[in-house]
Amino acid sequence: MNRRAETTTLSPRQLEIMNIIWERGKATVAEVWEVLSARHRLARNTVQTLITRLEEKGWLGHEEDGPAYRYYARRCRDSTVRSLLDQMVDTVFAGSADSLVMTLLESRGVSPQEAERIRQMIAEAERGQHE
């Protein structure tokens, strides 16, 4: 199975767990559950099951920390996000990155600071193409 296909097998809740672990570096089931339960009504056993499945799929590894396991990501966040975004552009926006950006701007808008940062990124990308 290729990396893109493996990425698509993650559920939204599994991606939430991955984001928590990417942010923290390592986390126990209890730590992940604490973060998730503040957002959603979720049983600790459900979190344990989701983490076990992520480990079985190769997304997480663990090390023993006393009686608990401390889980860590086995895949990079940046490459995962890029793969998900590529898939979204290909499937939802028929390969059109500008349609993605326009939809994002129309649905969420941007702050003046975000708009300036976007202008800077576009300018950098244009300079890179002319070198």
pTM for the whole structure: 0.75
CATH class of the domain comprising 3-73: mainly alpha
**pLDDT tens across 22-45, in order?**
999 999 999 999 999 999 999 999
Contact present, 7 and 84 (Cβ < 8 Å): yes
In the chain, domain spans: 3-73, 77-130
The confidence score (pLDDT) of residue 5 equals 42
**pLDDT tens across 70-112, in order?**
999 999 999 988 888 898 899 999 999 889 888 988 898 888 9
Q: Which DSSP state fits 7? A: H
